[in-house]
Amino acid sequence: MKKILSLASIVMVLQVSAQKLITETEFELFGDHIFISVSVDDSDPVDFIFDTGDGLSVLDTDIAKKLNLKPDHQSTKTSAQGSISGSLIAHNKIEINDVKLDDIELYTTELSHLEQTIGRNIDGIIGYDLLKNYVVKIDYEDMKIKLYNQDGYQNTGNGEKFSFKLIHYIPTIQASVTLNNGESYTEDFFLNTGAGTTLDFNTPFAQKHDVIAKTGDHYSYPVAGLEDNETMHYEGRIQNFSIGTFNIDQLPIGISQAEHGIQHNKKVAGIVGNGVLKHFNITFDYSKNEVYLESNKNFEKPYLVNASGINLQFNKERTKLLIHRVFEGSPAEIAGIKVDAQLLAVDGQVVESMKLPEIRAALKQANKSVTVKYLQDGIEKESTLDLDPLI
């Protein structure tokens, strides 16, 4: 009996050891993007997007110059957004607290066009290089990323387990969608924390099933990815989206028209982005091809959509916040707001004192009124918008 108890104790000790937290780091959820602080080759902290859709670690060209990192050679790489051109810097070290990732290949490219859209400096992007080495838990309630050893890891939480397969280094799991005409499909979807969207249907799936026509009210606009080019993108809704036992009704969705990258993948129906994923605490274990989803305090929060008809983007210097698009029939169009007008204030608060996600959230408050001040054709104007969801 003593031997049995001894063996049981050893097993328990090994399990506790395997579950030991290696490190944790706070992250900033800026809109729907996760930002963490890392060090590159013993540098001061720089801000990287944590992106499960990122198969190669990316460093902004200007940051590479600032850190005096010399590129080995020019190269073209295939990323989630398609083929991009830049420079490779081999044999780098990336540190997150006391965790060191050695011999990392960094791909340098220009990220300023993403900064214009996201509204924040982006020093780099990391994903697969971290996920392949550690069990990674994204705790959206505590706003922390937690790293565990892969060897012997056993999930002890209440999360629902899913098996995934990697396609282009991105985890892909099965989920079900019901379109507005009642058609239902169970398909593979990418889990992509770097996508600032809820659910996007890939171009082949959308075309095959005529998704645009089956989403009811919708609107469209051009979007850009890591590669600096734009493709048309549609926004609408579906009746239901479900992963395992989790169900979301009337989910706002996007419909891609991209001709390259993962959104043109014919084997995968679409992307589940951080607009949905932030409603869970998520644990990725790449050593077992398993992911655990546990609904968090955000799960019942409503999914807000554009209610002003304004699409915002900074100018290249990020000194002015501009009206990038005005959608037809929207409150903004009715008020006479035009493309390229400079937004100055929202409800009396100057935009310089607000983060871009805060401004966007203020313009999504359905059935409320908001006053915007803007500079249009050299004249300062003010309009009160009665916010009404576009979909």
Q: Domain check: are 101 and 138 in the same one? A: yes
- Has residue 4 been placed in a domain? no
- Has residue 104 been placed in a domain? yes
Q: Domain check: are 243 and 345 in the same one? A: no
**Structural domain count of the chain:** 3
Cα–Cα–Cα angle for 237, 239, 240, rounded to 5 degrees: 110
Q: Domain check: are 381 and 262 in the same one? A: no
Residues 6 or more apart whose CB falls under 8 angstroms from that of 2 comprise none
pLDDT, mean of residues 55-68: 93
Look at 80 and 262; give whichever has higher pLDDT. 262
How far apart CA 367 and CA 346 sit, in angstroms, is 16
- Has residue 125 been placed in a domain? yes
How far apart CA 60 and CA 74 sit, in angstroms, is 15
Q: Domain check: are 276 and 185 in the same one? A: yes
Q: How many helices (H) and strands (E) would you count in the chain?
A: 8, 28
Q: Per the structure block, which two tokens stand in for 225? A: 């990815």
CA atoms within 13 A on the CB side of 142: 11
Q: Domain check: are 180 and 243 in the same one? A: yes
Whole-number Cα distances in Å, 8 to 12, 18, 19, 190: 6, 15, 17, 40
- Has residue 68 been placed in a domain? yes
**Helix (H) / strand (E) containing 41:** none
Question: What letters, b where the CB count within 10 A reaches 16 and e where it falls short, cover 93-126?
Answer: ebbbeeeebeebebbbbebbbbbbbbbbebbbbb
Residues 6 or more apart whose CB falls under 8 angstroms from that of 121 comprise 47, 115
> Which pairing describes strands 165-167 and 170-178: parallel, antiparallel, or unpaired?
antiparallel
Q: Domain check: are 269 and 207 in the same one? A: yes
> Which pairing describes strands 184-191 and 270-272: parallel, antiparallel, or unpaired?
parallel
- Has residue 339 been placed in a domain? yes
- Has residue 114 been placed in a domain? yes
CATH number at residue 371: 2.30.42.10
CB atoms within 10 A of CB 74: 9
- Has residue 300 been placed in a domain? no
In this prediction, residue 5 has a pLDDT band, given cuts at 50, 70 and 90, of very low
- Has residue 75 been placed in a domain? yes
Q: Domain check: are 66 and 173 in the same one? A: no
Give 320-330 pLDDT, tens digit per residue: 999 999 999 99
Q: Domain check: are 172 and 269 in the same one? A: yes
CATH number at residue 105: 2.40.70.10
Q: Is the pLDDT of residue 82 over 60?
A: no
The parent domain of residue 257 ranges over 160-295
Give 181-233 pLDDT, tens digit per residue: 999 999 999 999 999 999 999 999 999 999 999 988 888 887 765 555 677 88
